[in-house]
Structure formats: structure tokens, C-alpha cells
Amino acid sequence: MTNLAELDMYLERLCSALGHMDRRTSLKDYCQGLMLPIARKSVEPLAAHIKPMQVRAKHQSLHHFVAKSAWSDNAVLASVRDQVKPLLATDTGHYWIVDDTGFPKKGKHSVGVARQYCGQLGKQDNCQVAVSLSLATELGSIPIAYQLYLPKDWASDPVRRGVAGVPEGIAFATKPEIALEQLRSALASGTPPGVVLADAGYGDETAFRSGITELGMLYAVGIRPATTVWAPGTAPLPPKQWSGRGIRPTRLRREAGNEPVSVKTLALSLPSQAYCPVTWREGSNAALSSRFAALRIRPAHRDYLGTEMRAEEWLLIEWPEGDAEPLKYFLSTAPDDANLEQIVFVTKMRWRIERDYQELKQEFGLGHYEGRGWRGFHHHATLCIAAYGFLTTQRLNHPGVKKNSAGPETPGLPNDYIPRGSRPPVSNCCETTS
């Protein structure tokens, strides 16, 4: 059973970000409802368990609060961050984890829904996708930014935008572009700088990596096997000598025998002794380890359009013992004197976002919102993160707290409660009367 005084204090601080006193009860009720061990955490089941004897009235107030009320998601998330951040402090540094998550959806009217890759399903399907940024350390993690990805068809459709309430200032942006804006906003808000971690969906974008460097931060990001680099000891050729006539050549060059290679080709060319076993942390059942190689390279993507060579950085290759080929590839701007164990440890810190999403979905109903609008989608996610933030503070303040022990008790439902949309009970037509 949680310390209810701590929960009330935590939620009171969040309420200060709402702007209006009359929203405080709804925020507290919604967050406490999300902490209950119930199967479905959309608005109506929450209302039924929070106020079993006043379901309709509570449903109306919660629906208005989450779907229509104009409070700031960014302000509430900032309050969550500010309560969790001091508890995450550690001498080993901070990590900023970029990722996205998908929610399978039927139909075409829910905001941002389209046929696209859904990580939850592992394939292309009808879904919504949101991009997030999490602040993490060795001690824990918490999402601090969250935004729906709006596909081009949605972004360019004024009718659907209007119906779903998409703000006028939201234009089409790729997921890496959304993530970069989240990074900029986090820096501007005073969030402690950290190493940016992301999978290949982001790390393969040269503009995303360059944007991180321009912000003054380091990164360790996944890349795809076909990504090209200049192997150690090789580099693009300088511009051709100027003949004295015409425009002076300024672009770097490639030629037969002096070309970049894919990271997979480079990995396969390395001798077996280049790969060393590294253990990076203790898993739930055993220590997590694999074989890795790290070498200094230069990224090569379209450098023939530039005038200066890109800086050297680390290529990290993971090739588990017994596998036919390497499993994963990463680029990192870790210092050139970093050792293999350090690079692996930092790169593997991305696992925390996977746990965040697992618990947000399974324990806090992140994907349970049934509304179709932009505001409701983001308000529900913000409140899920807020509830998860309290669990995170409990874990950090009270080591040993388990995931289902930090929330309030579940009130019972009245015997005559019927969920909306359900058919009322039908009397048995075969009964006989006396």
C-alpha cells in the first residue's frame, strides 16, 4: 500500500501546472485511476472505479478534463520531470533516450492514424505513433516529452485536422525532426545535458546526428548495416587542383579504389580477435554480455557534396558468439580515449526506454485512450506519464517498491453497474409464472 500522503503531495505539485483550481480534482482522480489494477484504463472504466455510485457524472467531468480542457501538457510534464529529476542524480551522467511507440487502431478517424510501422505489432499496420524523449540515469528514467507523429496525409488534410483539433502550428515533421525539437526544448528548459541514445530509425539520419552535435551533446545511436563509412586509414580525396580557369573546385572526391564501405562489409572484414566479450549489466536472470568491436571511422553519407571531411567517431559492432553475422551497429561521438567497456555501457543504456513503454502500456494504460482528438491523445499520455512518475519516485525513495504496490486500493463496483455500450441483462424467456 502506498504512502497516501506522499501521493497527495506529488499530485498537488502537478496541479500547480494546470492553471485553474477546478481542474485539480480531475487530475488527482484520473492519475489515481490510472494506478488502479484494473484491466481497462479509458475514461469510462476509470470513472466507474473512482466514483462507483456516480459513474455518469464522474465520466462527464473526466472526459471534459482529458478531451477538451485546455491545460498544458508541457507544463505538467515539466512538473513531473522536476519531481523525479533530483532523485535520478548520479555521478555517472545523464542519458537522453529518443524513441517512438505505436498503438494499433481501427478505422481512419483517430488523429494521426495511418498504415505505418507499428513496433508493438512488428509490422506495417493501421496505428498511431508517438515520439518521446526520456531522461535516464543508472538509477531510473522518466519520459519528459511526448508528441504524436502526424503523417503527411494527415498534416495536409485541413478537414481531418479540424475535426481532430490539430493545432495550426503543427506541420508535417519526420520523427527525427520531432525528436530534435524535443531535444532543443529540453535544453532550453534547463534539463541536465546527457548522451543522446536512439535506435537506427533515428541514428541512420545524418541530419539527426548533426543536429545533436550542433546542440553540443554526444550521442550513441543505432545505424543500419548498409550505412557507409570510411574505414580506418581511408578518407575522401581533397578537391581537384584548380586549373586556373572556371570555378575553383571545393568538393571532396571519391574514385575507384578509394571509396567508403558499408558497416556490415567492414565488420565482416575484421579479424576474429577484433571482437571481445563485454558484460554491461545484470539482467533479471543472468548477466548480459556479447562480443563487440569498436574502431574509429568517418561517416560517409553524401560527403562528396561537402567541402570538409566529417570528424572521426566510434563505430561499435555487436556480433554475438555463434551468430552467422553481426547483430547491431552503432555510431558514437564518445571521446577518442573511451574504452570498449565504456562505449558498450553507454550504448546499452537505451534499454530503459523499453521498460518505460512496457510499464506505461501494461500498468498505466498508455494505449487505452478511446477518443479521436489531438488534445485528448496528449492529455491521456501526459497523465499516464504523471502516474508513472509517482511510481518512479517511490522506487527511488523506497528501494524494493514493486510495480503494483504504489497505487491506491480499487473501490468495488455497484452490482447494477453496466458499462456503456453493453446490452442490459435480458430476463429468461423460458421462465414460467405461477
The model's pLDDT over 174-197, given as tens digits with 9 standing for 90+, comes to: 999 999 999 999 999 999 899 999
Burial class of residue 262 (count of CB atoms within 10 Å of its CB; 0-12, 13-18, 19+): middle
- Do 226 and 330 have their domain in common? yes
How many folded domains does the chain comprise? 2
- Inside any domain, residue 32: yes
Residue 284 within a domain: yes
List pLDDT tens digits, range 86-124.
999 888 889 999 999 999 998 889 999 999 999 888 899
pLDDT score recorded for residue 415: 57
Task: Assess if residue 10 is contained within a domain.
Answer: yes
Whether 29 is covered by a domain: the verdict is yes
Q: Are residues 344 and 211 in the same domain?
A: yes
Residue 432 lies in a domain: no
For residues 227 and 322, state if they share a domain. yes
Residues 341 and 387 in one domain: no
Whether 371 and 341 share a structural domain = no
Q: Are residues 387 and 343 in the same domain?
A: no
Given a cut of 80, is residue 425 above it in pLDDT? no
Residue 211 shares a structural domain with residue 304: yes
Burial class (CB in 10 A: 0-12, 13-18, 19+), 216: exposed
Q: For residue 365, is pLDDT > 90?
A: yes
Distance CA 323, CA 413 (A): 53
User: Is residue 114 a part of any domain in this protein?
Assistant: no
Residue 126: beta bridge partners?
A: 115
pLDDT at 434: 35
Domain match, 215 and 327 both:
yes
> Considering only 42-46, 152-156, 191-195, 415-419, which range has the smallest mean pLDDT?
415-419
The domain in which residue 285 lies consists of: 207-235+252-352
Phi, psi of 397 (to 5 degrees): -85, -30
* pTM, full prediction: 0.89
**Do the domain assignments include residue 187?**
no
Residue 229: the pLDDT is 96
**C-alpha–C-alpha distance, residues 3 and 57, integer Å:** 28
Contacts 24+ apart (CB under 8 A), 103-108: 103/127, 103/128, 103/129, 103/130, 103/366, 103/367
Q: Tell me phi and psi for residue 359, to 5 degrees.
A: -75, -35
Kindly report the number of other CB atoms within 10 A of residue 228's CB atom.
18
267 and 292, same domain (yes or no): yes
Query: 346 and 372 in one domain?
Result: no
Residues 29, 77, single domain; the answer is yes
Q: Kindly give the interhelix angle for 24-35 and 55-67, rounded to the nearest 10 degrees.
A: 100
Asked, for residue 129, whether it belongs to a domain, the answer is no
pLDDT exceeds cutoff 80 at 171: yes
Same domain? 227 vs 341: yes
pLDDT tens, position by position, 18-69: 988 889 999 999 999 999 999 999 999 999 999 998 999 999 999 999 999 9
